[in-house]
Amino acid sequence: MVDAHSTPSKPQHGLSLLRDPLLNRGTAFTEQERAALGLRGLLPPCVLTMQTQADRVLTNLRTLPTDLEKYVALNALHDRNEALFFRVVCDNIDEIQPLIYTPTVGLACQKYGLIFQRPRGMFISSRDRGQIAEILQNWPYEAKLIVVTDGERILGLGDLGANGMGIPVGKLSLYSACAGVHPELCLPIVLDVGTNNEELLADPYYLGLRERRLTGEAYDSFVDEFMTAARKTFPGVLIQFEDFANHSAFKLLHKYRDEACVFNDDIQGTAAVALAGLFSALRVSGGKLRDQKILFLGAGEAATGIADLVVSAMMAEGASEAEALRRNWLVDSRGLVVKDRAGLSGHKLRYAHDDQAPVADFLTAIKTLKPTAIIGVAAVGGAFTPEVLKAMAALNAQPIVFALSNPTSKAECSAEDAYRYTEGRALFACGSPYDPVTLNGKTFVPRQGNNSYIFPGVGLGVIASGSRLVTDEMFMAAAHSLADCVGKNDLSQGSLYPALPRIREVSARIAAAVAQVAYQRGLAEGPAPNDVMSQVQSQMYEPHY
Ligand SMILES: NC(=O)c1ccc[n+]([C@@H]2O[C@H](COP(=O)([O-])OP(=O)(O)OC[C@H]3O[C@@H](n4cnc5c(N)ncnc54)[C@H](O)[C@@H]3O)[C@@H](O)[C@H]2O)c1
Condensed to tens digits (0 to 9), the pLDDT of residues 450-493 reads 999 999 999 999 999 999 999 999 999 999 999 999 999 999 99
- Residue 189: pLDDT over 80: yes
Exposed / middle / buried, residue 485 (Cβ in 10 Å: 0-12, 13-18, 19+): buried
Q: In this structure, which long-range contacts are made by residues 256-259, counting pairs with CB atoms below 8 Å and at least 24 apart in sequence?
A: 256/227, 257/469, 257/470, 258/469
- CA dist., res. 231 & res. 244, Å (int): 20
Q: Please, which residues bridge with residue 338 across strands?
A: 353
Residues whose CB falls within 8 Å of the CB of residue 277, separated by 6 or more in sequence, listed in order: 402, 429, 449, 496, 497
Output the pLDDT for position 408: 87
φ, ψ (nearest 5 deg) of residue 120: -135, 135
What 8-state DSSP symbol labels residue 350?
A: G
| Local confidence band at 7 (pLDDT 50, 70, 90 cut-offs) | very low
Enter the DSSP assignment of 48.
P
- Average of per-residue pLDDT values in the chain: 95
pLDDT tens column, 406-432: 888 899 999 999 999 999 999 999 998
Model pLDDT, residue 432:
86
Calpha distance 401→392 (Å, rounded): 8
Confidence of residue 125 (pLDDT cuts 50, 70, 90): very high
Q: How confident is the model at residue 346 (pLDDT cuts 50, 70, 90)?
A: confident
Q: How confident is the model at residue 9 (pLDDT cuts 50, 70, 90)?
A: low
Distance between CA 142 and CA 347 in Å, rounded?
35
Query: Quick check: 106 and 406 in contact, CB under 8 A?
Result: yes
What is the number of the ligand 1 atom nearest to the C-alpha of 449?
A: 1
Q: Please give the number of the atom of ligand 1 that sits closest to the Cα of 299.
A: 39
pLDDT over threshold 80, residue 141: yes
Task: Give the rounded percent of residues in the chain with a pLDDT score beyond 70.
Answer: 98
- pLDDT score of 4 more than 80: no
Percentage of the chain with pLDDT > 90? 94
Strand partners, 145: 186, 238
Distance 377 CA to ligand 1 centre (A): 4
- Output the CA 521–ligand 1 centroid distance in Å: 33
Q: How far is the CA of 380 from the centre of ligand 1 (A)?
A: 8
Report the residue among 377, 405, 451, 458 best suited for mutation to probe ligand 1: largest number of ligand atoms under 8 A from its CB.
377
- The whole-number average pLDDT for the span 267-291 is 97
Q: Is the confidence at residue 308, as pLDDT, over 80?
A: yes
Which amino acid is it at 268? Q
| Of 266, 267, 430, 475, best ligand 1 pocket probe by most atoms within 8 Å of the beta carbon | 266
Q: Which atom of ligand 1 is nearest to the CA of 348?
A: 39
Name which residue sits closest to atom 18 of ligand 1, judged by CA. 300
Other C-beta atoms within 10 Å of 321: how many? 12
Q: How much distance in Å is there from the Cα of 249 to the middle of ligand 1?
A: 13
Euclidean distance between the first and the last CA atom of the chain, given in angstroms as a whole number: 12
* Ligand 1, CB within 6 Å, residue ranges: 153, 155-156, 246, 266, 270, 273, 297-303, 331-333, 377-380, 404-406, 410, 431, 449-451
147 alpha carbon to ligand 1 midpoint, in Å? 20
Mean pLDDT of 378-397: 97
Peptide bond into 119 cis (omega under 30): no
Helix ranges (H only) for 64-103 are 67-80, 82-91, 93-100
Band of residue 167 on the pLDDT scale cut at 50, 70, 90:
very high
Nearest protein CA to atom 30 of ligand 1, as residue: 333
Local structure of 235: helix, strand or coil: coil
Residue 201 CA: distances (Å) to CA of 160, 195, 231: 10, 7, 32
- For residue 402, the SS3 value is strand
Q: What is the pLDDT of residues 348-370, one digit of tens each?
A: 999 999 989 999 999 999 999 99
The answer, yes or no, to whether ipTM is higher than 0.90 is yes
Instruction: Tell me how far CA of residue 251 lies from CA of 47, 216, 223, 347, 507, in angstroms.
Output: 54, 12, 11, 10, 29
Catalytic residues: 101, 171
pLDDT at 422: 98
Report the predicted TM-score, pTM, of the whole model to 2 decimal places. Answer: 0.93
Distance CA 480, CA 501 (A): 19
Burial class (CB in 10 A: 0-12, 13-18, 19+), 67: middle
Distance, CA 85 to ligand 1 centroid (Å)?
A: 31
Amino acid in the structure at residue 229: A
Quick one: which atom of ligand 1 is closest to the CA of 305?
Answer: 16
| Model confidence pLDDT, tens digit, residues 436-450 | 999 999 999 999 999
The candidate with the shortest Cα–Cα distance to 299, out of 221, 379, 203, 371, is 379
- Based on the number of CB atoms within 10 Å of its own CB, is 92 exposed (0-12), middle (13-18) or buried (19 or more)? middle
The CA distance from 404 to 432, in Å, is 7
What is the reported pLDDT for 343?
86
Q: How far apart are CA 389 and CA 401, in angstroms?
A: 8
The string of DSSP letters for 261-325 reads SEEEIIIIIHHHHHHHHHHHHHHHH---GGG--EEEEB-SHHHHHHHHHHHHHHHHTT--HHHHH
Q: 406, 410, 434, 448: which to mutate for ligand 1, most atoms within 8 A of CB?
A: 406
The distance from CA 263 to its chain's CA centroid, rounded to whole angstroms, is 12
Q: Report the distance separating Cα 132 and Cα 222, nearest Å.
A: 9
State the angle between helix axes of 93-100 and 67-80 in degrees (0 to 180), rounded to the nearest 10: 100
